Structure 1
Amino acid sequence: MIPLVSSAAIFGSEFLGTALLMLLGVGVVANHNLPKTGGHGGGPQFINWGWGIAVMVGVYGAYRTGGHLNPAVTVGLAASGKDLATGIPATASNIAIYIIAQLCGGFVGAVFAWLVYKKQYDEDCEPALKRGSFCTAPQIRAYGWNCLVETVATYVLVIWVILSGYTNIATVTTADGVEQLAGSLIGPLGVMLVIVGIGNSLGGPTGYALNPARDLMPRLAHAVLPIKGKGDSDWAYSWVPVVGPLLGGVLAGLTYQIFW
């Protein structure tokens, strides 16, 4: 029998993984956007690959819980009828712990990215560029279409997650004490490439948040941190990268239930 993972372990795993994701993800955009950085103006590929690597590192950090890092992935797996990870059934309490941990990790990771670039944030810069290092914004503001883009892009991510089985990469110990590897080692590298691919193919209109914890919590960090000349946090748009990814995740889970 596979031992159940404790609530504290679930929280710690997803918190650490999501914090690492946000530290590197917010960090790469700060490196691109802010003045007096080594990566200033590196271009879209600089950002897309940075985010892909950030997701890979975060998945390793949260290996014990399948490396969700994302409420859309968690609800998508729940909607598919699968366990959240090895030894973690998709109960309401487990889903809640995953999402709370992801939100907390998203906030803390963004704060540490700000600390790393504190001196650059203190320099004069367009407020939108400072905000853009924390959260997404559309190239053309049309809330319904923006939400559709985020739904479709997140659907691609979550259906891949469900079908790849990468959420079962953790080691498990069998009843006779033998440790075995469940799932495939390609998971973290695979999701890195999927994130880069989605960014290149579908990320242009909205900046491909794909993840409520990725956008909402760094946006909150932007709102509360003492960032010089930061401007507003664009809360009018904030619902789009929450609702769109959650819809995409649920639709991906239902697709799996219907067709697989």
Structure 2
Amino acid sequence: MDYPTGDIFIGEIIGTAILVLFGVGVVAAVTLHHSKARASGWVVISFGWGFGVMAGAYTAGPLSGGHINPAVTLGIALQGGDWDKVPVYVAGQLIGAILGAVLAYLAYLAQYRANAESENPQPTLGGFATIPEIRSPLINLVTEVIATMALVLPILAFGLTEGLGVSGTQTLIVALLVVGIGLSLGGPTGYAINPARDLGPRIVHQLLPIPNKGTSDWAYSWVPVVGPLLGAAIAAGVFKAAF
């Protein structure tokens, strides 16, 4: 479907902001002191991100198709050959990711302050951007490539079943797919699988006066950007070859 440029921009801002609000919010809920969800674990985080995808994509869908992820936009462009509106999609996604991270920070502002004042303050970057459990950039890159292939290839294949898109079921299935990727492949790196989802909140972490925030780790920041883009490109190539 050919969406108007203005609708794409607004839709992707709103949808990605909702995605990141849910995602950054659930990590804050699980990791920060004085949160009712504290220490509820990785399963809760994975479902929080999945529900964020569902809410964001359904909201953006009528305006832009609900990509809310530059890797998805790249995969669709490589598969279909339409590049005209890719910059609009990506710009909206990055702005939306920044906005969503700011909103999540404001929602948990008291918890961030209490965290900094506690006897055992938790690092804050992990609430915004991804941090690998074992830091090995090449291996971390491969993990992100594989995880993003597992996202983008099914999304392209879902598009072949017309009924999924017409009924709206496709968006729900993609949300569950994100949960599955988090549970299966998210352990090593925190599964960015979305350059805007990582870069936007990392920028927010750098700029906001978050108490005791520590480093924003820009030395690692290329991995959750390049990895998902490579994964999307490979997924599009496999799709064109196989389907």
- TM-score by length of structure 2 reads 0.93
Tell me if 1:234 matches 2:217.
yes
The amino acid that maps onto 1:142 is: S
Query: Within 1, Cα distance between the matches of 2:160 and 2:98?
Result: 25
Unaligned stretches of 5+ in structure 2? none
> Following superposition of structure 1 onto structure 2, how do residues 44-55 of structure 1 map, counting pairs within 5 Å?
44-55=42-53
SS in 2 for 1:62: helix
CA offset at residue 256 of structure 1? 1.2
Residues 1:253 and 1:232: Cα distance change in structure 2 (over 3 Å):
same
Cα deviation code 1:119-169 (max 9, x no counterpart): 111123467631111011101000000000000000010001111129989
Unaligned stretches of 5+ in structure 1? 83-89, 170-180
Tell me if 1:34 matches 2:17.
no
CA contact (8 A) 1:34 1:120 kept: yes
Specify which of 156, 160, 163 is matched with residue 162 of structure 1: 156
| 1:129 counterpart residue number | 123
CA offset at residue 193 of structure 1? 1.0
The amino acid that maps onto 2:7 is: A
Q: Which range is displaced more, 187-196 or 229-238? A: 187-196
CA contact (8 A) 2:152 2:232 kept: yes
Query: Within 1, Cα distance between the matches of 2:218 and 2:121?
Result: 14
Q: Give the root-mean-square deviation of aligned CA atoms.
A: 1.9
> Following superposition of structure 1 onto structure 2, how do residues 15-34 of structure 1 map, counting pairs within 5 Å?
15-34=13-32
| 1:100 counterpart residue number | 91
> Following superposition of structure 1 onto structure 2, how do residues 185-204 of structure 1 map, counting pairs within 5 Å?
185-204=168-187
* Structure with max Cα Rg: 1
CA contact (8 A) 1:215 1:241 kept: yes
CA contact (8 A) 1:165 1:184 kept: no
Residues 1:95 and 1:158: Cα distance change in structure 2 (over 3 Å):
same
Query: Within 1, Cα distance between the matches of 2:169 and 2:48?
Result: 19
Cα deviation code 1:154-199 (max 9, x no counterpart): 0010001111129989xxxxxxxxxxx9534211210111011111
Residues 1:166 and 1:55: Cα distance change in structure 2 (over 3 Å):
farther
Query: Within 2, Cα distance between the matches of 1:138 and 1:5?
Result: 37
| 2:79 counterpart residue number | 80
Cα deviation code 1:38-70 (max 9, x no counterpart): 111111101011111011001111112221110
Query: Within 2, Cα distance between the matches of 1:26 and 1:185?
Result: 26
SS in 2 for 1:129: coil
CA contact (8 A) 1:150 1:208 kept: yes
CA contact (8 A) 1:68 1:167 kept: no
| 1:91 counterpart residue number | 83
Query: Within 2, Cα distance between the matches of 1:220 and 1:35?
Result: 23
CA contact (8 A) 1:151 1:245 kept: yes
SS in 2 for 1:103: helix
Query: Within 1, Cα distance between the matches of 2:154 and 2:29?
Result: 29
| 1:66 counterpart residue number | 65
Query: Within 2, Cα distance between the matches of 1:131 and 1:166?
Result: 39
CA contact (8 A) 2:46 2:183 kept: yes
Query: Within 2, Cα distance between the matches of 1:9 and 1:166?
Result: 25
The amino acid that maps onto 2:107 is: V
Identity of aligned residues (%): 47
CA offset at residue 252 of structure 1? 0.8
Query: Within 2, Cα distance between the matches of 1:168 and 1:134?
Result: 36
| 1:141 counterpart residue number | 135
Count of residue pairs the alignment pairs up: 239
SS in 1 for 2:3: coil
More helix by share: 2
- TM-score by length of structure 1 reads 0.87
Residues 1:127 and 1:147: Cα distance change in structure 2 (over 3 Å):
farther
